[in-house]
């Protein structure tokens, strides 16, 4: 069995610029990986693609992005043998943390090794773009500016070291519904260039000051719980707070470890899925 780590991501910024002729949205966002990860196990078998997971919310068929990644590799390189994909889920499902995309990216990287394809990260990221908008970033990991529909990746310096508190309310958010309700003329657009400057200068305060997500107000209008979590997280002592992706997970940045227990325990009082993790920030090379 070959094991591959599939880390979650958070959005330091997320901007939606306009709707493209192909019905995708042109986006501009800065993402970074955090130390909350699924564990993907890959084992060769005679034929077929088989998904195994104890999480009842994880589909075991072609709806699963890891399944789609395996199918894409098989079709592209005419692989006749099969694979058993074991998903040990730690990242909440449908949370705005790219759990499914990261599973797909880890599957691409793992099968590249298992089936000795010798593809580069760039080649794997190009394949990933065919599966979903966040998959290319997840192939690279680390910290990056993503543009286009999310598939154009520019590596950025890792953020200053800090802790991240993640809190996911017990609700699901439809990304399609959030984008459908989005109005670029009414949105609060983040300053992407200011965030890039903060990362290049290693300036923690500037990073906190420039967090921004153009989708946040849309999701909070649909689900007021998201706004309530933001308020509580700030009240309990986080330095800066933002919703990740289209939600509903909210994250807070904290640079003093001593403040984590108060924030973590305070959120656990009304939110069942709370995590305290570190930023990863840097790319991990291929095995």
Q: What is the pLDDT of residue 30?
A: 98
Tokens of 284: 């991990």
Burial class of residue 267, CB neighbours in 10 A (0-12, 13-18, 19+) = buried
Q: Which residue intervals of the chain are DSSP H helices?
A: 65-77, 99-114, 121-128, 135-140, 175-181, 192-201, 204-209, 216-222, 224-236, 260-268
Identify the band that residue 281 occupies on the pLDDT scale cut at 50, 70 and 90: confident
User: What DSSP string describes 150-213?
Assistant: TTEEEE-PPPPS-EEEEEE-S----HHHHHHH--TTTS----HHHHHHHHHHT-HHHHHHT-EE
Q: What is the pLDDT of residue 172?
A: 84
**Does 101 show up as a binding residue in the annotation?**
yes
Q: Is 70 exceeded by the pLDDT of residue 216?
A: yes
Sign of torsion over alpha carbons 231, 232, 237, 240: negative
Identify the band that residue 272 occupies on the pLDDT scale cut at 50, 70 and 90: confident
Sign of torsion over alpha carbons 271, 158, 220, 101: negative
Tokens of 254: 């904290």
Tokens of 69: 């990644």
- Taking the C-alpha atoms of residue 224 and residue 41, their distance in angstroms, rounded to an integer, is 37
Tokens of 74: 């098989």
User: Would you say the CATH fold of 163-278 matches that of 2-155?
Assistant: no
Per-residue b/e over 20-43, b at no fewer than 16 CB within 10 Å?
Answer: eeeeebebbbbbbbbbbbbebebe
Q: Is 80 exceeded by the pLDDT of residue 119?
A: yes
Phi first, then psi: what are they for 65, rounded to 5°?
Answer: -65, -30
Segment 246-268, tens digit of pLDDT: 999 999 999 999 999 999 999 99
Q: Which residue has the higher pLDDT, 43 or 287?
A: 43
Token pair 């990863």 in the structure block, residue: 280
Phi first, then psi: what are they for 163, rounded to 5°?
Answer: -95, 155
**Does 176 show up as a binding residue in the annotation?**
no
Sign of torsion over alpha carbons 190, 194, 196, 198: negative
**Does 94 show up as a binding residue in the annotation?**
yes
**In this structure, what is the dihedral angle of CA atoms 167, 171, 172, 176, given to the nearest 10 degrees?**
-90
**Does 170 show up as a binding residue in the annotation?**
no
Q: Is 70 exceeded by the pLDDT of residue 280?
A: yes
**Does 97 show up as a binding residue in the annotation?**
yes
Identify the CATH class of 163-278: alpha beta
**Domain range list for the chain:** 2-155, 163-278
Q: What is the pLDDT of residue 285?
A: 72
Identify the CATH class of 2-155: alpha beta
**Does 100 show up as a binding residue in the annotation?**
yes
Mean pLDDT of 272-282: 92
Segment 54-69, tens digit of pLDDT: 998 899 999 999 999 9
Segment 79-109, tens digit of pLDDT: 999 999 999 999 998 899 999 999 999 999 9
Looking at the annotation, which residues are catalytic? 9, 134
Identify the band that residue 123 occupies on the pLDDT scale cut at 50, 70 and 90: very high
- Taking the C-alpha atoms of residue 4 and residue 85, their distance in angstroms, rounded to an integer, is 11
Q: Is 80 exceeded by the pLDDT of residue 287?
A: no
Average pLDDT, rounded, for the chain: 95
């Amino acid at each position: 069995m070959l094991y591959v780590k599939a880390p979650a991501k958070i959005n330091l910024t997320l901007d939606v610029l306009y709707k493209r002729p192909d019905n995708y949205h042109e986006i501009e966002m800065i993402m970074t990986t955090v130390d909350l990860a699924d564990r993907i196990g890959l084992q060769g078998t005679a034929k077929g693609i088989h998904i195994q997971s104890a999480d009842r919310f994880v589909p075991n068929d072609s709806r699963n992005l890891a399944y789609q990644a395996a199918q894409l590799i098989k079709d592209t390189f005419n692989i006749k043998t099969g694979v058993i994909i074991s998903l040990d889920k730690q990242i909440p499902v449908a949370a705005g943390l790219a759990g499914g995309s990261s599973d797909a990216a880890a599957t691409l990287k793992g099968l590249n090794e298992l089936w000795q394809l010798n593809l580069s990260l760039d080649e794997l990221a190009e394949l990933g773009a065919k599966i979903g908008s966040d998959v290319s970033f997840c192939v690279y990991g680390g910290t990056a500016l993503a543009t286009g529909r999310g598939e154009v990746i520019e590596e950025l310096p890792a953020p200053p070291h800090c802790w991240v508190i993640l809190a996911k309310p017990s609700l699901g958010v439809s990304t399609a519904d959030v984008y459908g309700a989005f109005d670029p003329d009414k949105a609060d657009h983040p300053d992407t260039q200011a965030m890039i400057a903060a990362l290049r200068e290693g300036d923690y305060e500037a990073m906190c000051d420039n967090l921004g997500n153009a989708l946040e107000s849309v999701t909070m209008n649909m689900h007021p719980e998201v706004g309530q979590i933001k308020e509580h997280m700030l009240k309990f002592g986080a330095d800066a707070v933002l919703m990740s992706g289209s939600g509903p997970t909210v994250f807070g940045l904290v640079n003093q470890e001593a403040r984590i227990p108060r924030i973590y325990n305070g959120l656990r009082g009304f939110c069942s899925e709370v995590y305290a993790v570190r930023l990863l920030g840097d790319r991990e090379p291929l095995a």
